[in-house]
């Protein structure tokens, strides 16, 4: 585990920025000390790498949040897209360097503007964003959150976490227990009301993500106790698949 200051020194991201990422729900710490200090684990740092790569590629924080929260987010696929975008960016910069060198050699008479063309780079970036955000669920999420304040979004995020973390206190019951299944229904209804229509297919994908390890699992277990995320996955799977 690393403190927020240690992560700041390692990554070059300011403490204030890390705190802001936590506040808007983009990057929560892996856990917190009893005194409330943020602690970051390896899974959280991996997510931070994803965020920083997307930021280098000029993705907005809102776009990055939508990508990382997409139930179908695939880290390997995202890395492939990032590598392709960075390669295109590299070629664009190399073209600009070559142009600048030619201008210096010709004394400013190199009338070539093709190096400024970013059409291919822009098209690929738009395609990558569309692949993660063109789903009906994402469009509905965009509509519902278009006029919400940052405070309201934070409150929704906290309420959602509380609903999932509550499964941690139900682990003495069977996942099929009526009370547990009622909690799954409450979770589904909350997501539908505040984010997007949460079908059983989407809910099942979310459940798998909750219990798959990494940042989501760590955050849920930190809020609901050890095993909370894994039990939530089992309960959701029972609800969705019978």
Q: What is the pLDDT of residue 159?
A: 92
Whether residues 3 and 45 share a domain: the answer is yes
Same domain, yes or no: 102 and 198: no
pLDDT tens profile 67-115: 887 766 777 877 888 888 888 888 888 888 888 888 787 776 656 666 6
Q: What CATH number does the domain containing 184 carry?
A: 1.10.490.50
Is residue 125 located within the same domain as residue 147?
A: no
Does 213 share its domain with 187? yes
Question: Structural domain of residue 32, as residue ranges?
Answer: 1-57
Examine the domain organization and report whether 212 and 184 are in the same domain.
yes
Domain count, the chain: 3
Percent of the chain whose pLDDT exceeds 70: 86
Do 29 and 59 touch, CB atoms closer than 8 A?
no
pLDDT per position as a tens digit, 23-51: 888 898 888 888 888 999 998 999 999 89
pLDDT at 177: 96
């Amino acid at each position: 585990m690393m403190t927020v200051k240690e992560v700041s020194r390692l990554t070059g991201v300011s403490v204030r920025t890390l705190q802001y990422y936590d506040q808007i729900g983009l990057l929560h710490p892996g856990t917190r000390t009893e005194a409330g200090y943020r602690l970051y684990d390896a899974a959280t740092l991996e997510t931070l790498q994803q965020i920083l790569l997307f930021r280098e590629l000029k993705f907005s924080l809102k776009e990055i949040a939508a990508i990382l929260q997409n139930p179908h987010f695939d880290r390997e696929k995202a890395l492939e897209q990032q590598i392709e975008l960075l390669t295109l960016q590299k070629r664009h910069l190399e073209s600009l360097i070559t142009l600048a060198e030619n201008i210096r050699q010709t004394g400013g008479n190199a009338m070539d503007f093709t190096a400024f063309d970013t059409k291919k780079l822009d098209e690929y970036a738009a395609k990558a964003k569309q692949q993660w955000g063109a789903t009906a669920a994402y469009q509905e999420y965009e509509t519902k959150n278009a006029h919400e304040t940052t405070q309201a979004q934070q409150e929704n995020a906290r309420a959602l976490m509380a609903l999932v973390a509550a499964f941690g206190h139900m682990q003495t019951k069977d996942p099929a227990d009526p009370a547990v299944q009622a909690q799954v229904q409450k979770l589904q209804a909350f997501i539908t009301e505040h984010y997007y229509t949460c079908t059983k297919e989407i809910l099942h994908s979310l459940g798998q993500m909750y219990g798959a390890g990494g940042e989501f699992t760590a955050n849920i277990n930190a809020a609901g106790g050890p095993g909370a995320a894994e039990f939530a996955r089992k309960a959701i799977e029972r609800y969705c698949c019978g």
